Amino acid sequence: MTDGKRDIASASGKLGILMPGLGAVSTTFIAGVEAIRRGMAKPIGSLTQMGTIRLGKRTEDRSPAIKEFIDLADLNGLRFGGWDVFHDNCFQAALNCEVLQRDLLDEVRPFLERIQPMPAVFDPRYVKKLRGDTSNVKETGTLMEKAEALMRDIDAFQEREKVDRLVMVWCASTEAFLESKPVHQDLAAFEKGLKENDPDIPPSMVYAYAAVKKGVPFANGAPNLTIDVPAMLELCDQTGAPISGKDFKTGQTLMKTIIAPGLKARMIGLKGWFSTNILGNRDGEVLDDPESFKTKETSKLGALEYILQPDKYPELYKDFYHKVRINYYPPRGDQKEGWDNLDIFGWLGYPMQIKIDFLCRDSILAAPIVLDLALFSDLAKRANLKGIQEWLSFYYKSPIHGPGLYPEHDLFIQQMKLKNTLRHLKGEDLITHLGSEYYDF
């Protein structure tokens, strides 16, 4: 045991999970949690629900379940709410997304029907491709007034659902590409921008501001800039809110961050990595817009560079060619297909190839990530961890990181960092995998 044990407030009571965007990911998550609570299914893919954590030396044989090791909110105490530009309740939205089967949705129908989307803060310049009746929006007022309206929504939800604590997870559409601008550089400039409707403040930043201002943890599931700007960090400093992002690590990028560390560990070279996807859900349609795709592409391209470190291993990785494509193909719905072709080389430079054809289900991979992020963000808040939570990089394609640091993309290093953070919070020795039962390192 180390003496670093932190005071962590109790996880008892109810936790409210608020989500901008009641689409494929959030409805699959909410319906899934309810199905799991009723014993109809298992929380596959969720580290908080299924994972264990090794403690002490291997000889000690101590590997409790994570949720028994550290106090996390219980699934039965979770309450859900959200905002969307569409009027559909959670049941109707889940039906439209066609991810979960009708018979499962029918079982939890009354529960889902009670979850009505609150009117959204929306700006069509940032999300162009939504079709249909998108009138469930907050029409009037400055961006600051809209942020205040969101804060009132948060208070009303807390009152209605009698929840003790809250977290917010962005599950709404990917916004158009945006670079950090002067208005994002400090809190005073940002708040002035909110009052003056600065066009460089997209809706996601208005939600993030509302959450962080109230000290509510914020996790960003999309690649939007959102909380990854100095003004938000300054606000976190003031209110103590923990934040994390960006872009849930599912599908193709998950595979990339599993395979690339293995190639590098064995010093196998890479000439090129070509990735293409077909997908037909609304996310795919939004990403058909070049500006939203640019946000996604930037997020997807970063991982390999950081994992392979071409500057340290030029003979193996200098100038490897990396291409990522997303093709909107409606017949596929949420059942994406991701193809990867890797041109690699081994001993004496002899070329080889790897082909991956991943027939995945996007929202099925994303839903357990939303659950884990909600529970761990709540833990961070109860442990008084504020600002960027790098230990949650495990869940993101494009992890946000402190100034002067580089993002960690290697899934296995990310996992080690996450579990060591849990050990640290509980005052347990960190595990380096150095020790052995024969040599007491």
Ligand X SMILES: NC(=O)c1ccc[n+]([C@@H]2O[C@H](COP(=O)([O-])OP(=O)(O)OC[C@H]3O[C@@H](n4cnc5c(N)ncnc54)[C@H](O)[C@@H]3O)[C@@H](O)[C@H]2O)c1
Tokens of 139: 């029409």
Q: Which residue has the tokens 């596929």?
A: 332
Q: Could you tell me the smallest distance in angstroms from the CB atom of residue 220 to ligand X?
A: 9
Nearer to ligand X, 55 or 216 (CB): 216
Least CB distance from residue 255 to ligand X, whole Å?
12
Token representation of residue 386? 């504020």
Binding interface with ligand X (CB under 6 A): 20-25, 83-86, 97, 120-122, 127, 130, 171-174, 203, 221-222, 247-248, 250-251, 281-283, 286, 362-363, 365-366
CB of 99 to ligand X, least distance (A): 9
Q: Which is nearer to ligand X, 132 or 346 (CB)?
A: 132
Q: Which residues pair with 352 in a beta bridge?
A: 344
Residue 238: half-sphere exposure toward Cβ, Cα within 13 Å: 14
Q: Are 362 and 279 in contact (CB under 8 A)?
A: yes
Angle at 271 between CA 404 and CA 252, to 5 degrees: 65
**Residue with structure tokens 């008084």?**
384
Specify the residue, 234 or 289, whose C-beta has the smaller distance to ligand X: 289
Of all residues in this chain, which one has the CB nearest to ligand X in the complex?
23
Give the residue with the Cβ less far from ligand X, 88 or 428.
88
Q: How near is the Cβ of 19 to ligand X at its closest, in Å?
A: 9
| Paired tokens of 160 | 């209605």
By beta-carbon proximity to ligand X, the closer residue of 47 and 366 is 366
How distant, in Å, are the alpha carbons of 66, 102, 196, 203, 345 from that of 207? 31, 32, 17, 6, 47
Q: What amino acid occupies position 8?
A: I
Q: Is residue 438 helix, strand or coil?
A: coil
CB of 289 to ligand X, least distance (A): 12
In whole angstroms, the minimum distance from the beta carbon of 433 to ligand X comes to 30
Cα-only R_g, the chain? 22
C-beta of 363 vs 421, nearer to ligand X: 363
